[in-house]
Structure 1
Amino acid sequence: MSQVLDAPPAPAPHGPPARALSARELAERHGLSVANARPSLPGYARQLWRRRHFITAFATAKLTAQYSQAKLGQVWQVMTPLLNAGVYYLIFGVLMNVKRGVPDYIPFLVTGVFVFTFTQSSIIAGTRAVSGNLGLVRALNFPRAALPISFCLQQLQQLLFSMVALAAIILGFGLPLSAKWLLVIPALALQFAFNAGLAMAMARVCAKTPDIGQLMPFVLRTWMYASGVMFSLDQVTKGKQVPHWVHAALEHNPAAVFIDLIRYALIDSFHSSRLPSHVWAWALGWALLAGVGGFIYFWKAEETYGRG
């Protein structure tokens, strides 16, 4: 018994004690990677392209479900902007008489309402793209930019339904069908890029601060009045002491640029002299600025969506 109690202690191991591995080092040792890690910008774009079928299907499903509970169903896709145009015609065309000096005022007005509604609805949908789909964001691994882009695609599909009614209105007022109508295709493509960029930017902002989405209807309403939707900016500012920079800002603001391009394409009496200078360059510039800028801005916060 004494021999056991008096046995010398075991010798200490040579060298410093082993350091406990961090969680990151353990993950790397066993081949684990961070969930939802932000890929490179080109890699992110490739992921989006691989999911283009999901984006299209998601947009179509949302559009179909939007009016599924209404008795008239998809008819509201056309009726809603037409009713808005009717209200604006009574207020601005009849009561305020801003139609004076504007040939083909009803096609002029309906075109402006339809085109601006495309931008307005895309931005509002973008404010809810992430915050309104947290279940999907937290459950599945996919590039989150697919959500605001799909909402913009949904609004484009709705606009295309409305364009059928717009074409009927234009032809009903005796305006001719011409090859200029094909200009609608590049104009809408540029507007879609612009809208998608703004929707992605608003999706990131409202994912962190949802209250900003409550302010957007007021901002968009002000923007609508400054974009010549219901009246001609030239007629309103004619004969008034308006600073040159104010007039230039009004006619080159992106909503006015896209509205003017589509009016020029569809309405025969809307001549090229009424377009701002270098209008296609302005449209391309706005599309690249908002589209690329919004995409990069959204991508930089990719790892944060759905957290908190």
Structure 2
Amino acid sequence: MSTLSDPLSLSAPRGADAGLTPQQLVAKYGLTVSGARPPLRKYVRQLWSRRHFIMSFATARLVAQYSTAKLGQVWQVVTPLLNCVVYFLVFGLILSGSKSMDYYIPWLCIGVFTFQFIQTAVQSGTRAISDSLGLIRALHFPRACLPIAFTIIQLQQLLISMVVLVAIVLISGISPGLTWLLVIPAVALLCVFNTGLALAMARVGAKTTDMAQLMPFILRTWMYLSGVFYSIEANIKSWPHWIQVMADVNPAAVYMDLIRYAFDPSAINRAGLPPHVWAVSVGWAVVAGLFGFVFFWKAEEQYGRG
């Protein structure tokens, strides 16, 4: 009887299989290449069937992330708040940014919390494959589970931070209104956008490990150009039109404007939210989500192979 340890057992079929080529044997018995990329629709179904694994993995990683710190998960809120304090001292007081608008503190905090969600999702997505090689090589599952799970971790952190953000908004004197409900679709669109970025960067990071070292500089530049702690509109009025257009469609600025408008409609301008903002936010979510997913899926069989 042939065994797997016999090197000739696969190359020299006997009996009814005698004379069949390896390709014919593969077709006859329905064999597939281990780790081969499945069709896109099948890949989506595989991901959906593992949705509970993705949520459990994300929750476990979130709890373990702060397990060695004495304050534990309190750091999820303390870290962005400390960033807010630093940016307020520099841009709000020293550079007098707080004098140019009402409710500068909640305006600043919304920007910091929103951009940190983008930043951490991209950074964790970049390392999703390289930091999980042991899991990838030990188990068979759609590799997209990893960057999606890491994005969910950052979303959970944002939702926890939102509790503190609401308190800051209320203490600042902003009354709740119906526009607060717009935070839900705004965060949902931002989550889809971040997931697409995380998937795309996961493939790049899996091939180029140095990208994880480069990303902080790219993200810091993006943050400075996105109006996290200053009003873009007020500072580029005299700049060329094409620069103003690029600033208007900057996805980070767009999502920050949505959330700022939801909490305080007067935070953007007195005339209300420009009509293009929602359209641009939906466009960025769809484009980034679809492109990131397909881009990651194209290299599915390469992850963890070398």
What is the TM-score with the length of structure 1 in the denominator? 0.90
Contact persistence 1:251–1:276 (CA under 8 A): no
Contact persistence 2:265–2:273 (CA under 8 A): no
Contact persistence 1:175–1:268 (CA under 8 A): no
Amino acid at match of 2:101: V
- In 1: Cα distance, 2:57 partner to 2:298 partner: 24
Tell me by how many angstroms 1:274 deviates: 6.0
Which position in structure 2 is the counterpart of 1:109? 108
Which position in structure 2 is the counterpart of 1:296? 294
Tell me by how many angstroms 1:248 deviates: 1.4
Contact persistence 1:118–1:156 (CA under 8 A): yes
Amino acid at match of 1:285: G
Which secondary structure does the structure 2 equivalent of 1:99 belong to?
helix
**Identity percentage over the alignment?**
58
Distance 1:92 1:274, change over 3 A: farther
User: Where does structure 1 differ by over 6 angstroms across 4 or more consecutive aligned residues?
Assistant: none
Which position in structure 1 is the counterpart of 2:244? 247
Amino acid at match of 2:236: T
Tell me by how many angstroms 1:171 deviates: 0.4
**Does 2:182 match 1:183?**
yes
Distance 1:20 1:202, change over 3 A: farther
Tell me by how many angstroms 1:168 deviates: 0.3
**Does 2:275 match 1:266?**
no
Larger Rg: 1
Identify unmatched segments of 5+ residues in structure 2.
1-17
Higher mean displacement: 253-262 or 32-41: 32-41
Which secondary structure does the structure 1 equivalent of 2:190 belong to?
helix
- In 1: Cα distance, 2:264 partner to 2:23 partner: 63
- In 2: Cα distance, 1:271 partner to 1:109 partner: 13
- In 2: Cα distance, 1:290 partner to 1:251 partner: 17
- In 1: Cα distance, 2:129 partner to 2:299 partner: 12
Distance 1:120 1:293, change over 3 A: same
Tell me by how many angstroms 1:21 deviates: 6.0
Q: For residues 242-264 of structure 1, what are the alpha-carbon distances to aligned partners after superposition, in whole Å with 9 as ceiling and x for unaligned?
A: 00110111121000000000000
Which secondary structure does the structure 2 equivalent of 1:100 belong to?
helix
- In 2: Cα distance, 1:121 partner to 1:206 partner: 14
Contact persistence 1:122–1:155 (CA under 8 A): yes
What is the TM-score with the length of structure 2 in the denominator? 0.90
Tell me by how many angstroms 1:210 deviates: 0.8
Which secondary structure does the structure 1 equivalent of 2:38 belong to?
coil
- In 1: Cα distance, 2:29 partner to 2:91 partner: 68
Which position in structure 1 is the counterpart of 2:7? none
Which position in structure 2 is the counterpart of 1:9? none
- In 1: Cα distance, 2:166 partner to 2:158 partner: 12
Identify unmatched segments of 5+ residues in structure 1.
1-18
Amino acid at match of 1:295: F
Which position in structure 2 is the counterpart of 1:165? 164
Q: For residues 141-176 of structure 1, what are the alpha-carbon distances to aligned partners after superposition, in whole Å with 9 as ceiling and x for unaligned?
A: 111001000000000000000000000000001110
- Equivalences for residues 76-95 of structure 1 within 5 A: 76-95=75-94
**Does 2:300 match 1:307?**
no
